[in-house]
Chains A and B, each alone.
Chain A
Amino acid sequence: MAIQVGIGSSTQKDSILAAKEAVSEARLKIGNAKADLAIVFSSIDLSGTPLLKTISNYLSGIRVLGCSGAAIISNRGIFKHGLVIMLLSHSQGVYFNTGLVKNIMERSAVQAGEELGENLLHGFQGIRRDLSVMFSDGLIESSSDLISGLQERVGVSFPLAGASAADNLAFKKTYIYFDQEIISNAACGILWGGKLNFGLGTKHGWKPLGKPRKVTKASGNIINEIDNAPAIRIYEDYLAMDTAELKNELKRISILYPIGIYLPGEEEFLLRNLFSIEDNGSIVLQGNVPQNSQIRLMIGTKETCLAATHQAIEEVKKGLSGRPCNFVLVFDSISRYILLGRQAGKELEIIKEHLGKDTPIIGLCTYGEQAPLRSINYLGKTYFQNQTITIVAIGG
């Protein structure tokens, strides 16, 4: 029997009213099935203890997890303000476990990832692992290490997908939801196993431009030098702007022209958004860049973006191998939402067109996505990525 799903959403301004409305709708949709897991995404204005308390009160005994987003996604559309909740009732033979890790920044992110992995594996002995989904604070700088730590524990034989929580582009505070807790500087996840059918697709659509460059000095998510020159020079040269002008245009440039890291053996470049510019000419990116790696400046358009969505869906369909899907998780970069502007809804239309207009869809606009660069011929490595649309279609 397939996983039973009930989805509810609300755009009420009051978090308690929104929670009541969304939960009521989700419960109505799931019908008589007994929900055992709830995934919740909300805009930052609704993030708060009352939201989760109300949800938990209505769903007593059910594990609740999720995070805040720059916008929320449901079958009804993409909303900058609102709440979406998905209730799941797992079928026999499909197992899941959830886990939480706090205080990531106070220690090594690898260690935090390992702790999350251990939590997820609790009670999972002897069960085949199929898929892991993670939600992490969107403002932690060591997401790549967090993923490494997690995969160190849970293994790399199956893919990991996830989203970095977001706020309203203020980049001040993002939140993870876990039962009644609303926490920053944390990550939570779900590990599915047993016999889970799913399809995973992730694509960005940005293309390399100009000469290949070499990162000659870097540490973590900071590139100090490219081709032995201050890293910011690459942007100064290409855009004919000085550092002050670049700082003013940072958001636009970060979205349109991210840095692409060449990964031997991978077809796609791994993208890194520009987060800030330091006074010494170093650039701070959303995610690590290894020293000596080859990089390119990347360029994207609305058209390449939407073409990538089509490609991601094709990967999802290949993964499902013709089996029906019960629900879809969408982790869509906020950069794509901004770039697409008035066409932002088209990505959702593409998903519905291919996976069914009535298939329950829940998602958020993120500050980063966690996914392998390809799910077909998966090479056992999940990356922290920017600018992608990551689609997980689960068939139960």
Chain B
Amino acid sequence: MIGSEYLALIGVIAIVALAITIFSKMQRISQLQSLIDNLKKSLDEMDEQAKLVVRTDLELNKTQEELDKKVTGLYALQSLSRAISTTLEENQILSMIEVSYLEDLGFEKSCGFLWEDRISAFQCYINIGYSDDEIEEIQSTINADKERYSDLIKNQATLSSTSLAVEPDLRDKINEIFKVTSFVISPILPKEGSKGFLFVGTEKVDTLVTEGDEELITILSNQLGQALENARLFEKTWQAHQELEKRVEQRTRELTLALEEVKRISKRKTDFVSSVSHELRTPLTSVKGYASILLTEKLGVLPQEVKLRIEKINRHSDELAQLVNDLLDISRIESGRVTMKAEQKDLKKIAEEVGELLSVQLKDRQIELIIDMPGDATAAAVDASQIKRVFINIIGNALKFTPPKGKITISSYKTGKNIQVDINDTGCGIPEEAREAIFEEFYRVDNTINESVKGTGLGLALVKHIIEAHKGKIWVTSKVGAGSTFSFTLPQEV
């Protein structure tokens, strides 16, 4: 009995314990189920958040892509502009558009057409991404509808598959002709010569042409137009330049020939003068000799009338001898038979010697000679005897043309590697039109003094030859009635 009660109690306890365990397990299951539900819910929530992340990420990527595309496009445009501006050859300009640039601009096909007056049709000059057959077909199609493309040039407007959304038929037709899905067409408008248009397109179905694309291609076609214009202007200028060059060459050739002729004639003249002068000197010496003998009256007393005539013969013979000597000197210098024996000399000393030589004439004519040559501007590399002749001739002339109580001033100073000597007088001056000519042979200024004063017209010509033989220059400045200044330069050193 006790045993059965005990067993019953154990059974009750076991049942209670089992119930508790079951209850506890059920509670645990319920908790786990709740946890699973929560986890599932969290996972679903996380998945929803993931969806938001993906959508935001996609938008961000699209924006980034667009930005990248624009930056790349701008870089490509910059590189293209630089490349285009490096040439002035019309054909090279158009060939600068390369596939890599085009791809950076977001397209892979391009063609460029220019209107050719010669054939009254559009001619293709750029082809990227099309076979020869394809481009020929496109060209034929364009020329069959040339008014439409001429209008595009006339309207100066850029068209694109986006801007033509309002004219889907035209857009689709262009897509079909050029075998693309999106495109931009922009006119090429140089001011000079034939105009045309640039086409760029893509076959990619996911590419949408934006306003930014249109702007970039418009800038590119404008630059092409500008570059073509520059090339054409350059070509024109170059042609004109070539023509000018040709003319200059022709004229130079003619002038060279003329100069040769002048040199030849001048040489003949010099030879002639030289030989005539030589031939004249022999009889002149005889004439002068006989006249001098006659004048001594050793051969008999001369009647007064005869003596006067012979004195004239004697004097004129001297003048003629002087003329012949001057002519011979000029011809010698011209022909190079006389070279200047340049040595370091003091120009002031030479000037003083000449002043001494002419002191009687200076005194007779009451003309003051002033030598104002500072010590540091007198040394020159010269042939002293020849330079002495220069001073004699110039001061002699000044003496002739300076009225009494006038002044002749000799001054000098350094000019670079040269010494410049100025010989100024207070004479009658030289008219402007004669200032160049006085250095020519036999030229004499047409004035009253020259009519009364004798001269050969060779003095200044000889002076010029001597100065130039020293690699110097000579010129005159003058004011009629106020005087003249003869200036010449001589090298300081050999």
| A contact set with B: CB distance below 8 Å | 13, 45, 80-81, 168-170, 209-211, 237-240, 248-253, 256-257, 297, 299, 301, 341-342
Q: List 20 extra interface pairs beyond A211-B47, A249-B206, A252-B65, CB under 8 A.
A: A13-B99, A80-B100, A168-B108, A210-B46, A210-B47, A210-B51, A210-B54, A211-B44, A239-B51, A239-B54, A248-B206, A252-B58, A252-B206, A256-B57, A257-B54, A299-B53, A301-B57, A341-B64, A341-B72, A342-B71
Which residues of B have CB within 8 Å of A238?
50-51, 54-55
Q: Which of A170, A238, A248, A250 has the most CB of B within 10 A?
A: A238
A210 and B50 within 8 A (CB)? yes
* Residue of B with least CB distance to A11: B100
Shortest distance between the CB of A6 and any CB in chain B (Å): 26
Shortest distance between the CB of B295 and any CB in chain A (Å): 102
B68 and A251 within 8 A (CB)? no
B58 and A209 within 8 A (CB)? no
**B44, B61, B103: the one within 8 Å of A256 (CB):** B61
10 A-B pairs in the complex with CB atoms less than 8 angstroms apart: A45-B99, A80-B103, A81-B99, A81-B100, A170-B203, A210-B50, A238-B50, A342-B68, A342-B71, A342-B72
How long is the Cα–Cα vector from A251 to B58 in the complex, in angstroms? 12
Which residues of B have CB within 8 Å of A13?
98-99
* Residue of A with least CB distance to B48: A210
B65 and A209 within 8 A (CB)? no
Which residues of B have CB within 8 Å of A248?
205-206
Shortest distance between the CB of B242 and any CB in chain A (Å): 33
Q: Mark B35-59, 1 if CB is under 8 A from A, else 0.
A: 0000000011011001101110110
B residues 272-303 in Cβ contact with A at 8 Å: none
Which residues of A have CB within 8 Å of B204?
169
How long is the Cα–Cα vector from A257 to B64 in the complex, in angstroms? 16
How long is the Cα–Cα vector from A252 to B62 in the complex, in angstroms? 9
Which residues of A have CB within 8 Å of B205?
248
Which residues of A have CB within 8 Å of B55?
238-240
A238-B51, A342-B71 known; A250-B206 Cβ under 8 A: yes
* Residue of A with least CB distance to B99: A81
Which residues of A have CB within 8 Å of B57?
256, 299, 301
Which residues of A have CB within 8 Å of B72?
341-342
Which residues of B have CB within 8 Å of A240?
51, 55
How long is the Cα–Cα vector from A81 to B72 in the complex, in angstroms? 17
Which residues of A have CB within 8 Å of B203?
170
* Residue of B with least CB distance to A302: B64
Q: Which of B47, B53, B64, B203 has the most CB of A within 10 A?
A: B47
Q: Mark B67-95, 1 if CB is under 8 A from A, else 0.
A: 01001100000000000000000000000
B100 and A341 within 8 A (CB)? no
**B46, B61, B64: the one within 8 Å of A211 (CB):** B46
B residues 100-141 in Cβ contact with A at 8 Å: 100, 103, 108
How long is the Cα–Cα vector from A239 to B51 in the complex, in angstroms? 7
Shortest distance between the CB of B248 and any CB in chain A (Å): 43
A211 and B43 within 8 A (CB)? yes
A256 and B58 within 8 A (CB)? yes
How long is the Cα–Cα vector from A381 to B71 in the complex, in angstroms? 43
Q: Which 9 A-B pairs have the closest CB atoms?
A: A210-B50, A341-B68, A211-B47, A238-B54, A210-B47, A209-B50, A238-B51, A342-B68, A211-B43
Majority secondary structure, B binding face: helix
How long is the Cα–Cα vector from A210 to B206 in the complex, in angstroms? 27
| B contact set with A: CB distance below 8 Å | 43-44, 46-47, 50-51, 53-55, 57-58, 61-62, 64-65, 68, 71-72, 98-100, 103, 108, 203-206
**A169, A211, A299: the one within 8 Å of B54 (CB):** A299
Shortest distance between the CB of A335 and any CB in chain B (Å): 12
How long is the Cα–Cα vector from A239 to B43 in the complex, in angstroms? 18
* Residue of A with least CB distance to B57: A299
* Residue of A with least CB distance to B72: A342
Which residues of A have CB within 8 Å of B51?
210, 237-240
Which residues of B have CB within 8 Å of A169?
204
B206 and A209 within 8 A (CB)? no
Which residues of A have CB within 8 Å of B50?
209-211, 238, 297
Which residues of A have CB within 8 Å of B65?
252, 341
How long is the Cα–Cα vector from A238 to B58 in the complex, in angstroms? 10
Shortest distance between the CB of B268 and any CB in chain A (Å): 66
Which residues of B have CB within 8 Å of A257?
54, 58
Which residues of B have CB within 8 Å of A170?
203
Which residues of A have CB within 8 Å of B71?
342
Which residues of B have CB within 8 Å of A256?
57-58, 61
How long is the Cα–Cα vector from A239 to B46 in the complex, in angstroms? 15
* Residue of B with least CB distance to A168: B108
A211-B47, A342-B72 known; A252-B61 Cβ under 8 A: yes
Which residues of B have CB within 8 Å of A239?
51, 54-55, 58
* Residue of A with least CB distance to B98: A13
Which residues of A have CB within 8 Å of B68?
341-342
Shortest distance between the CB of A273 and any CB in chain B (Å): 15
Shortest distance between the CB of A11 and any CB in chain B (Å): 8
* Residue of B with least CB distance to A300: B57
Shortest distance between the CB of B30 and any CB in chain A (Å): 25
Which residues of A have CB within 8 Å of B61?
252, 256
* Residue of A with least CB distance to B62: A252
A209 and B53 within 8 A (CB)? yes
Shortest distance between the CB of A204 and any CB in chain B (Å): 17
Which residues of B have CB within 8 Å of A45?
99
How long is the Cα–Cα vector from A210 to B55 in the complex, in angstroms? 13
How long is the Cα–Cα vector from A81 to B50 in the complex, in angstroms? 39
How long is the Cα–Cα vector from A249 to B71 in the complex, in angstroms? 22
Shortest distance between the CB of A396 and any CB in chain B (Å): 35
A209 and B99 within 8 A (CB)? no
Which residues of B have CB within 8 Å of A80?
100, 103
* Residue of B with least CB distance to A209: B50
How long is the Cα–Cα vector from A297 to B47 in the complex, in angstroms? 11
* Residue of B with least CB distance to A341: B68
